[in-house]
Amino acid sequence: MSTLRIKLPLSVEIVVAMSDADTALGHLQGLGMVITDPSLLIGPYLRREALSSSRIEGTQASLSELGNHTWSHPDLRALSTQGIQDQLQRNEDFIQATYGVSAKPFYRPPFGYVNAHVRSAAAAIGYTAPTLWYGSLSDSSALTSDQVAGFGDQWFGAGRIVIAHANHPGVIGAMQHLVDLIAQRGLRTVTLRDVFATSV
Ligand SMILES: [Zn+2]
């Protein structure tokens, strides 16, 4: 994947469009104060925005490829069957309400902790594919850009799932290196369904 750099000249049209956008945002803010459940209004826009920005980035993501990482990130092994299902179902409901799609069958058990008890409780509500990983950018804690880039060097490779978080600013400075790395190593990003599609 090559990176496209576009210099955007601030023409009169763009300035006017930005001003219109500002005004529209003002209207929306006013509306937000009078409607009782703003998420009903915003959900469809979140979905559309996410789809169009993924198109801009040239990635293959679509909103049919979300996975479930539980509601509050517990060690699922310590929970009852009901507790495991509540964790997955509450997040499933959120994803459905916000993005209009289901995350099934993919879930990532927090910390990668999974056993037969977790698998069967999850499978009973349609989560049949616990999804683990090969490497990590380790960016759930605050790392420098060089450290994040270094984990890319270490883990990016064909057929590997590498997890990342985007929780801290160091990730931003590493992004160009990571994109270049994908190109240099002849890799391409894929979705879980591209690779792990089942009849489920
Ligand atoms: Zn996690």
Sequence spans of domains, the chain: 13-56, 60-132, 133-200
Terminal Cα distance for the chain, rounded: 32
Single out the residue of 156, 41, 154 nearest to residue 98, CA to CA: 41
Share above pLDDT 90 across residues of the chain, in percent, rounded to a whole number: 55
Q: What is the CA(111)–ligand 1 centre distance, in A?
A: 6
Tell me how crowded residue 103 is: count the other CB atoms within 10 A of its CB: 22
What pLDDT score does 17 carry?
73
Give burial (CB, 10 Å; 0-12/13-18/19+) of 132. exposed
Instruction: Give the confidence band of 42 by pLDDT, cuts at 50, 70, 90.
Output: low
Mean per-residue pLDDT for 140-157? 94
Dist. CA 11 → ligand 1 center (Å): 43
| CATH architecture designation of domain 60-132 | Alpha-Beta Barrel (3.20)
pLDDT for the residue 21: 75
| Cα 59 to middle of ligand 1, angstroms | 23
Q: What average pLDDT does this structure show over 58-63?
A: 53
